[in-house]
Amino acid sequence: MTDSDHKPIIRLRNITKNYGNIRALQNVDLDIYMSQVLAVVGDNGAGKSTLIKVLSGAIKPSQGEIEVAGKVYTGLNPALAISLGISTVYQDLALVDTRDVAANLFLGRELVKFGWWLDKKLMLEKSKQLLRNLNVNIVDPQRMVSQLSGGQRQGIAVARAVNQGGKVIIFDEPTAAMGVNESRQILNLIKDLAEQGYAVIVVSHNLHHVLEISQRICVMKQGRLVANLETAQSSPSEIAHYITGVNNLEDDQEIAQ
């Protein structure tokens, strides 16, 4: 390991977000490392999405600091987050169905030649390369997005996040609306991203998935970060204990379903 492996790429310090009287986040401290999957778990309303929105720049915290690559910010905005290498894969994927794969991968950052002419050939080549690097099963980037499966569409959204310069890739409940095969594809893609050196942050309700793909698990409860666990050292019952406050040692199997 080198020094940069030990140094977090992002440090959240004392992050609080209030909505009127509601404290969606309270004094959250969290470090995020490259080459790791960090899972964020917790009950409905625990503050998981709010935490993700602070990171993606969708909301500004009421208090606290976000340090990215050594520079301190009191809040991000979406364009700043992307320019800092923080990319979010939204649940609706935000793809344009009526355009092809390559057009979606380069949406808003099209490659041009002679100053203004769209360089379709280069975008197709780069699309193929990008999809191949991420093991996304799409051979022809000229396919219309509307013709592709849920797993392939998710793959395009991830490839676009990487193509935006994303080094930290964020997912909020990526498998929530997915069947078994599609879930498998996205779980493998998430593991691949971390193996390729990206930092991945995944909100999930599925402890089974979380235990399989993550290196760290942080548990949110009522806006607070109540546990930051090493996945290899934790069990479903321990995680459930932090989520609910109840310890069900004998229910390990059931909880993991």
Ligand X SMILES: Nc1ncnc2c1ncn2[C@@H]1O[C@H](COP(=O)(O)OP(=O)(O)O)[C@@H](O)[C@H]1O
List interacting residues with ligand X (CB under 6 A). 19, 22, 24, 42, 44-50
d(CA 78, CA 65): 16
Q: Taking each helix axis from N to C terminus, what angle separates 180-195 and 150-163, rounded to the nearest 10 degrees?
A: 20
What single DSSP character describes residue 219?
A: E
Partner from ligand X, Mg ion, none contacting 42, C-beta within 5 to 8 A by type: ligand X
* Nearest residue (CB) to Mg ion, 49 versus 104: 49
* Nearest residue (CB) to ligand X, 43 versus 192: 43
d(CA 225, CA 204): 15
Residue (of 175, 178, 159) closest to 101 by Cα position: 159
Token pair 């909100």: residue:
203
Partner from ligand X, Mg ion, none contacting 19, C-beta within 5 to 8 A by type: ligand X
Q: Which of 36, 49, 56, 175 forms a contact with Mg ion (CB under 5 A)?
A: 49
Q: Is 231 in the site for Mg ion (CB under 5 A)?
A: no
* Nearest residue (CB) to ligand X, 18 versus 149: 18
Residue (of 75, 38, 83, 32) closest to 54 by Cα position: 75
State phi, psi for 186 to the nearest 5 degrees: -75, -35
Report the chain's terminal Cα–Cα distance, integer Å.
35
Smallest distance, ligand X to C-beta of residue 48, A: 3
Smallest distance, ligand X to C-beta of residue 108, A: 26
Smallest distance, ligand X to C-beta of residue 22, A: 5
* Nearest residue (CB) to ligand X, 89 versus 148: 89
| List of residues contacting Mg ion (CB under 5 A) | 48-49
